[in-house]
Amino acid sequence: MTDMIKADEALLKTDGLGRVQTPPARREQLLDEFERSGLSGIKFATLMGIKYPTFAAWLSKRRRQREPDKPMAAKSVDSMQWLEAVVDQAQHPGGPTPEGVVVELPGGARVHLRDTREVVLVAALLRGLEKGC
């Protein structure tokens, strides 16, 4: 049986170690797709058949090229978004409910607040996360 290659498909070159060399135009196309996808980098790389360290290097290089004057450790002011939530006392006349409030962080982490005194701790945690570890 013969394998047929469509006219719009290109053969991918490999180096001496057998690694696939992805053309720059294809890399940019994949990175554009990733930005539109809303997926995590790991999930997207897996779906596309790209090793995650390779994909992460492409993404990092692209970000450095787009923001050459920005220091690498600095984070954008827009990286954190705040939301104010107000509990309607008419619906909860006895005070906070036993369920409390759940704060969901990027990456899937969750903080469960059951007492108003915990707000100070969570605020400190968020400030620490904003600065980076």
What is the DSSP track for 59-91?
HHHHHHHH-TTS-TT---GGG---------TTT
The more confidently predicted of residues 104 and 57 is: 57
The more confidently predicted of residues 52 and 6 is: 52
Per-residue burial over 6-28, b = 16 or more CB atoms within 10 Å of its CB, e = otherwise = eeeeeeeeeeeeeeeeeeeeebe
Summarised one tens digit per residue, pLDDT across range 5-30 is: 454 555 667 778 777 788 889 899 99
Domain ranges of the chain: 13-66, 77-131
Rounded to whole angstroms, the Cα distance separating 14 from 12 reads 7
pLDDT at residue number 125: 81
Indicate whether 52 pLDDT > 50: yes
Summarised one tens digit per residue, pLDDT across range 80-128 is: 566 666 555 555 556 555 667 777 776 677 888 888 788 788 888 877 7
- In the structure, what pLDDT confidence band is assigned to residue 39 with cuts at 50, 70 and 90? confident
The model's pTM is: 0.43
Task: Find the helix or strand (DSSP H, E) in which 28 lies.
Answer: helix 24-37
For residues 26-54, average pLDDT: 89
55 with 44: CB under 8 angstroms?
yes
pLDDT at residue number 132: 64
Report the chain's terminal Cα–Cα distance, integer Å.
56
